[in-house]
Amino acid sequence: MKILKLIAIFCALSTRLFAQTPKSIEADFDKAFEKISYWNEHSSEDTNGDGLFTANLQIEAKVKSYTQKCPAALDQAFKNIGLVSEDGLFRILSWDTMTGGTQHAYENIIQYKSAGKTFTIVDTVKNDDDYIYAYNKLHTLKVGSETYYLTTYYGIFHTYDMGAGIRVFAIQNGKLNDKAKLIKTRSGLTHKLYYTYHVGEELQNGLEYHPEQKIITFPVVIGDGKVTDNIITYKFNGQYFEKIKS
Give residues with Cβ within 8 angstroms of 158, minimum separation 6. 102, 103
DSSP label of 245: -
Buried/exposed 88-105: b ≥16 CB within 10 Å, e otherwise: ebbbbbbbbbbbeeeebb
Average the pLDDT over 55-75 and give the result: 95
Q: Tell me, what's the pLDDT at 165?
A: 97
What mean pLDDT comes out for the span 216-223? 94
- Whether the model pTM is above 0.85: yes
pLDDT tens, position by position, 188-213: 999 999 999 998 755 456 899 999 99
Output DSSP code: residue 214. T
Q: Measured between alpha carbons, how far is 88 from 131 in angstroms, rounded to an integer?
A: 27
Burial bucket for residue 224 (CB in 10 Å: 0-12, 13-18, 19+): exposed
Distance CA 57, CA 54 (A): 5
Query: Would you place residue 12 in the very low, low, confident or very high pLDDT band (cuts 50, 70, 90)?
Result: very low
User: How far is 167 from 44, CA to CA, in rounded Å?
Assistant: 39
Name the residue ranges covered by the structural domains of the chain: 1-81, 125-246
